[in-house]
Structure 1
Amino acid sequence: MKKIMNRADDTVSQLLNSIAFAYDDKLKRIPQTGIIVSQKMAANKVAVISGGGTGHEPAHSGYVGEGMLSASINGPIFIPPAVNEIVQAIELADQGQGVLLVVKNFEADVANFLAAEELATKQGHDVDHVIVNDDCSIEKSNFKKRRRGVAGTVYVHKILTAAAGEGKSLDELVTLGDDVIASMNTLGVALAPGTIPGTSQTQFSIGENEISFGIGIHGEAGYRVEPLESSEQLANELINKLKTHYNWKRGMKLAILVNGLGATPQMELHVFANDVRRLLMLEEVDVCFKKVGNYMTSIDMAGVSLTFLELKEEQWLTYLNTPVSTYGW
C-alpha cells in the first residue's frame, strides 16, 4: 500500500515533531524522546499521564493539554515506551500531588510502566496506576476473555483527569479508575487489516467481503471471520455481545464510543453509529453521552469498535462533559 512517508525508521520522530508543530499552543515535545507534555501544567493537582506505542493516533498525544493529560509517552510503532522515558515523564509531570499512570493491559506495557513506577517511587515521587482492560473479545484458541486495554482507555483518561482537576487525591483517583474500568466493555471488528510502515505485508488476511471479530489495536487478528452483511446486522451483533457483560435493563445510563480504526470513512462510522442509536432506542436505554470518530486507531486498519460505559454515578457524566483543550478529544 502506498504511503506518504520518508524513511520508515524515522517515522515516529517525524510524527511527533509535526504534532508538536501543529498544536504548539497545547503541547510540546521533549527533544530526542517520545514524551509530549502539556504547555499548561496545572499545579496543586494529581498529574495523569498515559502512553504506549505509536500508531494509535490521536492516542495518546491527542489527549495531552489543559484539563486532560499532563503528558504522554510515545514508544515505537506498537511497542511501549522505554522505562527511562516513562520515569522522565513522571518527573516532568509531577506538580507535588503525585502522578497517576493510565496503562493499557498488554504484557509489555504493564511491565514497563510498573517498572517505571517503582523507579520513580524510589526517587521520591508519589506514583500509582490503573490498568485498563475494556476489551471483551476472546482468544481464538481457548475462548478465554482477552481483556486488553483498547478504545475505552480514552474515557478513562477523560474521567480521571476531570476528577483530578476537582482536587481528588491519588488514592481517590485509583478507586474511581477501577470503578470506571469495571463498568466498561469494548468489542472491535476489522474490514481490512493494517500495515506497518516499512512493509507492505498485512498483519493478517481476510477475504474481500469478510470481517474479523475481536481484533486488537496492534493489528491482532480476531477470533472469528464471517461475511459482512450490513451495518445494522453488525451493530446488532456487537450490542448483543456487549449486553451480556451488564445487568441490562431499561433506563440504564450509558456512554458509548464508536471508534474508527484508522481507515474507515466518517460516513461509515456514522452509518454504524446511527444503527447503534436506533437499536439502543428499542432497548430503551438512556444514551447520555456519545462520541463518534477516530480516537484510538491501528494505523490504517479498516474497521470499528464499540464501547459501552455504564454510568453508575452521575458525576461520571459531569466529568465526561468537562471542557478540555486537546487536539484529539
Structure 2
Amino acid sequence: MKKIINNPADVVSESLNGMQQAYPEFLEYTPDAEIISRHERGNKVAVISGGGAGHEPLHAGFVGKGMLDAAVSGNIFSSPSPDRIGTAIKKMNTGKGVLLIVKNYSGDIMNFGLARDLAEADGIEVESVVVKDDVAVLDSTYSTGRRGIAGTVFVHKIAGAKAEAGAGLPEVKAAAEHAIANIRSMGMAMTPCILPAVGRPGFTLAEDEIEIGMGIHGEPGVERTGIKTAKETAEILLDKILADYDYSNSEVAVLVNGLGGTPLMELYILNKEVQAYLKKRGIKVHKTLVGNYTTALDMTGCSLTLMKLDAELKELLDKPCDTPALKF
C-alpha cells in the first residue's frame, strides 16, 4: 500500500483538519465530532449532510455558500454516529429548522434518524430526505432499496440554493425531494480501492475486466464484462438510466463523475460521448459537471448522473455557490 498518510487511524481527522486549513476564511472544523461547517450561519434553514469518509469531496467539499451548512464524517465507508450528527444539528440550527440529506445506506438511515429524533426531543425542528439515485440494483449489501451515489451532489445544490434564498423548512425539503425524484445515476469500476486501515484491495478484477453497476463502497454490480471503449461505456450507462426514467424531449443537468483514480483526460473523453449520445436521443444538456465529486478512495471508474430540469430546478441549479469542490 502506497498512500500519503501518517497513521491509518487518523486519516479522517487529519484530512478534515487539512481541508479547514486550506479554507480558513469560511470553514470551521470541529475535532472529535468530525464536522466541517460554515463560519457564516445566516438566519435560514440549515442544510446538513454526511456519511462515511473516503468519498471526497463528498460531503465536506460542498460546505459553503449556496450548498451545505455542515457535513458530518464517519470513519472510512462507515456512517457517522448519532452523537456527531446531533452535534452538527445543534451547532448549525438558527431556529429556522434543519434539513438532513441522507444517502440510502442502512447505517446512515439509522444514525441520522436517531439523531433527528433526539434533536426533535430537544425542541429543534428537523426534516430529512433520502437520496437513492443508483439504478444499478434494487437492493445491496448496504441498503434496502436503491443506493445513494453521485446524484447526492445535485441534491446538495438544489436544497442549499433554496435555503440560501430564505425558504422555510417545508419548502427546502420539497425542493430536495423534487430533485431526488428527477435524478438517476449509474456507475462502473475498473479497479478496486484500498482502505488505509486494511492495506489491500477489497475485491479483485482481472486486467481485462470491468464491473458495471459497482457501488461506491465496492458493492457488487450487475455484470462483469470486458473492457469497453468510452463510447460503449457511455451508451451502456446511459441506456440503463434512460430505461429507468423518462428523459425524452427534456433538458438535463449532467454529472460525469470520477471514482478517485480515473484521470480527467478520460472523464472528458467519456463526456464527449455522453454529450453525443444525449443529443442523438433528443435530450438537451443545460449544464455539465466533469470531475471527481463522489469518489471511492483510489478506485478507477466512473458514474453518470442525469437530473431532469423544470423551471424551478433549473433556477436553483444556476444559483451561485462557493464551496471547495464547486463554484458557480
TM-score over 0.5 for the alignment? yes
Equivalent position amino acid for 2:193 in 1: G
Higher mean C-alpha displacement, 80-89 vs 313-322: 313-322
Counterpart position of 2:189 = 190
Q: What whole-Å deviation, never above 9, does each CA across 1:3-52 have from its counterpart, x for those lacking one?
A: 11111111111111101111112211013221111021211x11100000
Superposition pairs for residues 35-74 of structure 1, below 5 Å?
35-43=35-43, 45-74=44-73
In structure 1, runs of 5+ residues without a counterpart are none
SS at match of 2:127: strand
| Secondary structure of 1:292's aligned partner | strand
Equivalent position SS for 2:244:
coil
Residues in 2 aligned to 1:93 and 1:149: alpha-carbon distance in whole angstroms: 24
Shift of 1:67: 2.1
The offset of 1:320, in angstroms, is: 1.2
Q: Does 1:328 align with 2:325?
A: yes
| CA deviation profile, 1:32-79 (whole Å, cap 9, x unmatched) | 221111021211x11100000110101111111122211110111111
Deviation digits for residues 292-313 of structure 1 (CA, Å, limit 9, x no counterpart): 00111000000000001111x2
- The one-character-per-residue Cα deviations of 1:244-270 (angstroms, maximum 9, x if unpaired) are 1222423x1111110000000000010
Give the letter aligned to residue 70 of structure 2.
A
SS at match of 2:48: strand
Determine if contact 1:38/1:64 at 8 Å carries over to the other structure.
Answer: yes
1:231/1:85 CA distance change after superposition, 3 Å: same
Counterpart Cα distance in 2 of 1:2 and 1:22: 24
**Per-residue deviation, residues 85-114 of structure 1 (Å, max 9, x unmatched):** 111100111111000000000011000001
Residue number in structure 2 paired with 1:263: 261
**Partner residue in 1 for 2:4:** 4
Shift of 1:145: 9.0
Equivalent position SS for 1:100 = strand
Deviates more, 1:277-286 or 1:215-224: 215-224
Q: Give the conservation status (yes or no) of the 8 Å contact 1:204–1:221.
A: no
User: Matched residues, percent identical?
Assistant: 41
- Inter-partner Cα distance in structure 2 for 1:262 and 1:141: 22
Partner amino acid for 2:300?
A: A
Matched with 2:287 is 289
How far is 1:199 from its partner? 2.5
Q: Which residue of 2 aligns with 1:103?
A: 102
Which residue number in structure 2 is paired with residue 18 of structure 1?
A: 18
**Residue in 2 that maps onto 1:29:** 29
TM-score between the two structures when normalised by the length of structure 2: 0.95
* 1:254 matched residue in structure 2: 252
Q: Give the equivalent residue in structure 2 for 1:153.
A: 152
Q: Does 1:243 align with 2:246?
A: no
Q: Does 1:119 align with 2:118?
A: yes
Q: Which runs of 5+ in 2 are unaligned?
A: none
Task: Provide the C-alpha distance between the structure 1 equivalents of 2:178 and 2:275, rounded to a whole number of angstroms.
Answer: 25
Contact 2:259 2:292 in 1 (8 A): yes
Match of 1:318 among 315, 319, 326: 315
- Tell me how large the CA RMSD over aligned residues is: 1.7
Question: 1: CA distance between counterparts of 2:98 and 2:277?
Answer: 40
- Describe the superposition over 1:145-176 as per-residue Cα deviations: whole angstroms up to 9, x where unpaired: 95111100010000011011122211122222
Q: Distance in 1 between matches of 2:54 and 2:100?
A: 20
CA distance in 1 between counterparts of 2:158 and 2:49 reads 13
Structure-2 separation of matches of 1:141 and 1:58: 24
Q: SS of the counterpart of 1:158?
A: helix
Whole-angstrom distance in 1 between the partners of 2:77 and 2:223:
23
CA contact (8 A) 1:55 1:297 kept: yes
Give the TM-score, by structure 1 length: 0.95
Alignment correspondent of 2:168: 169
More deviation, 204-213/262-271? 204-213
Answer whether contact 2:105 2:144 (CA < 8 A) is retained. no
C-alpha distance in 2 between matches for 1:26 and 1:224: 44
Tell me, in whole angstroms, the C-alpha distance in 2 between the residues paired with 1:228 and 1:281: 25
Q: How far did residue 139 of structure 1 move?
A: 6.1
- TM-superposed CA distance for 1:211, in Å, is 0.7
Tell me the distance in 1 between the aligned counterparts of 2:260 and 2:121. Answer: 39
Determine the C-alpha separation between the residues in 1 that align with 2:139 and 2:188. 14
- The number of residues matched between the two structures is 325
Tell me whether 236-245 or 170-179 shows the greater mean CA deviation: 170-179
